[in-house]
Chains A and B, each alone.
Chain A
Amino acid sequence: MTRFLGPVRLGPFVIGPVDTRAAAIRAAAILLGAGCVVWATVPPVHKGLANLALILAICGVAGGALRLILAGVPVPEDAFLLPAPTQVWLRFLGILRQVPWEEGAVIGLVWLEVLHPSRPWHTAILGAALVAYLLATHLAESNAGPGTLRPQVRVLAVGAGLLALGAGAGMLPATGPGAGAALLRLVAAVALIAAAALVLPYVARRE
């Protein structure tokens, strides 16, 4: 076919197909989610609707994983005259992309963890894994690299310190018998977090 106009040069800004880095980040997010579920479940407990919390956590992690896997599936804008199976598939994709799976998984996992007897370092590791899971999920769904988290490294380090402090506070023996001592420790930990949160914006602004 004869053309009147010259060929179009492809610019350097075209993004290629899904690369291995994105696949690795997705796999990391899925594995972290699965690891959090296992970590929060073992040893199994049978009280306080533990089964419901476990189902919630598994569904949340599985749904989030499925959403990440199917993120690249295109959806046609005009879906009126499509066959019924295709419409069902599109409806499924729509639901999959709208439900906040990760929020459900987080609530289920924290719920599972609190059903266990107090084990502060176990909880701290779960907290670190949960934050890593959420960060990896965000990187996977926004197709960004780990380098985008570089500005947050300091804050994450401070958060890790507070996580360790919280775990340490949990391991300290109570100053006295009764609920007052535990409440006192809790207020101290929350006050520490609040103080750090108030100071941190000014620290982060200097970067």
Chain B
Amino acid sequence: MSFPSTLNGPGRDEPGQEFSLQWRSSRHARRLLTLGLAALFIATVARRPEFAGLAAPALLLLAAGRSQHRPPRVSLGARPTTRRAFEGELVAIDVLIEGQGGCSVRWILHPGHEIEPVGPTAADGPQARFTFSPQRWGRRPIGTLDVVLRDRWRLAEGHLTVNLPTLDCYPAPAQQRTQVVLSRLPNRLGEHAARTFGEGIEFAGVREYVPGDRQRSINWPASTRRGRLQVNTFAAERSQDVVLLVDGTSDVGEPGSSALDLALRGAAAAARAYLDARDRVGVITYRWGAVGWLGPGLGRRQVYRIIDAMLASERGGAGPAGVASGTSMHRLPRAALPPGALVVVFSPLLDQRFVETLRDMRERGFTMLVVDVLNADPPVRLRMPSRGGLGGSSPRANTDRMARRIWQMEQEAIRFSLRELGVPVVRWDGISSLDLPLARYTRRPLIASGSRR
């Protein structure tokens, strides 16, 4: 049994990798051989020369085909159009073979798990392009590629199977355009209008003129009414620290729309929305036994760093930042969870230890907002007619419904207790925009912990 070799995707100008070919007779050759041998055998046994003539074309083809050149090794290159793609995005891989001589080449793509081919999976020629679409986030092997070389007479086939490179598939970000802004912002230049006066562009009020004020800020209508010079005041523009807390302990629901899928998509959307508003965004991924983190940062590349950190944490790695063992937030450095930061939590709230961690963080003074991504209920057996009568239900189904109801009440109790602590909990179905559940909190600043209400 031979295992397929792994093909690393070379760059644009890099040569391909060398692979050995296994040549063997083609089906066509075996059929011709059968015809030739059967006809010769019958010609000998039956002593009928016309059967020797019947064997002639097949045997001649086989004899002439032996002189064909068959390369023992070929050079193979594969170049995906990208190594990172979002769910559902179109990606193509170009494959190229060299050193095949006059042999014809056929490519057959066997796509990997959660890789959906777009278009045909077989092609002919020395180079080919296959288009596909990754369906779910994670590090996905593109698949395997069968390469079949046929000599000019098509009597021998060289077979080669290679593993194509892997693709980092990012969760497709959900839609979010608005941001939740804290009422108390750090003294750092940004785009959010703060409650303090400053040099922003948002009108904040009118006050009496004092020496040193700029003349262009005088509000002449107000000055005329009051009889004294009045100047406009503006709100200061500040940025905030946002930490996305992703709960990776529970992954319930159907693959593709599970709680973890929704959490990652929501976190990616939130990262983009806050980074677009010039906020510093970091991420903390909470899972069994360890907490991975990436400190808040600025810029477009931070989106990719955040998604990389989340995916690395899901794979059990450290990612680009750090990992703190245990499940306590106390061990996190100050850089990972800055004081005064807005913490946006994406969780199905199924793990009791995670809920306790949220309570603990709230008691430590963090302003938090929980996005509930639970979109699955425990299964209930179908209603079965009871033996005694019509239209009844079996005791098992009743028990299931009762258990489900108790479970739902427990979930409601968890959410109620968080709300009582001052932690808003909003439910997101993963389909609609995140702006809808967050609308109540994006219209006005969220009261930061420790602020006067």
Contacts and interface: CB of A to CB of B under 8 A. Distances in A.
B48 interface: yes
Nearest to B148: A142
Interface string B42-60: 1110111111111111111
B228 interface: no
B60 A142 contact: no
Contacts of B131: 8, 10, 14
A176 B67 CA distance: 41
B92 A10 contact: yes
B31 A164 contact: no
B330 interface: no
A95 interface: no
B135 to A, nearest CB: 13
A62 interface: no
Contact of A8 (B88, B91, B122): B91
B49 A201 contact: no
27 contacts: A2-B173, A8-B131, A14-B128, A16-B120, A100-B27, A106-B35, A107-B38, A110-B54, A114-B46, A127-B56, A131-B58, A134-B31, A138-B27, A143-B106, A155-B57, A155-B61, A156-B57, A159-B56, A159-B58, A165-B53, A170-B49, A185-B49, A186-B48, A189-B43, A190-B43, A196-B60, A201-B64
A144 B27 CA distance: 14
Contact of A151 (B91, B124, B128, B152): B152
A134 B53 contact: no
B51 A166 contact: yes
B60 A189 contact: no
Contacts of A124: 50, 53-54
Interface stretch (B79-87, B233-241, B395-403): B79-87
Which 9 pairs from chain A and chain B are nearest by CB?
A166-B53, A159-B57, A170-B50, A127-B54, A162-B56, A197-B63, A11-B129, A189-B52, A138-B28
Contacts of A189: 43, 49, 52-53
Contacts of B49: 166, 169-170, 182, 185-186, 188-189
Given A10-B129, A124-B50, A169-B50, A17 B120 contact: yes
Nearest to B122: A15
A91 B237 CA distance: 69
Given A127-B57, A163-B54, 6 more contacts: A15-B122, A114-B42, A127-B53, A138-B31, A155-B61, A185-B49
A193 interface: yes
A204 interface: yes
B209 interface: no
Interface of A: 1-5, 7-11, 13-17, 77, 100, 102-103, 106-107, 110-111, 113-114, 118, 120, 123-124, 126-128, 130-131, 134-135, 137-138, 141-144, 148, 151-152, 155-156, 158-160, 162-167, 169-170, 179, 182-183, 185-186, 188-190, 193, 196-198, 200-205
A130 B31 CA distance: 10
A157 B84 CA distance: 55
A142 B155 CA distance: 12
A152 B52 CA distance: 20
Contacts of A102: 27, 31, 34
Interface string B186-197: 000000000000
A205 B50 CA distance: 29
A65 to B, nearest CB: 15
A100 B42 CA distance: 21
B212 interface: no
B53 A110 contact: no
B34 A197 contact: no
Given A155-B64, A163-B53, A204-B67, A3 B86 contact: yes
Contacts of B256: none
Nearest to B157: A142
A130 B35 contact: yes
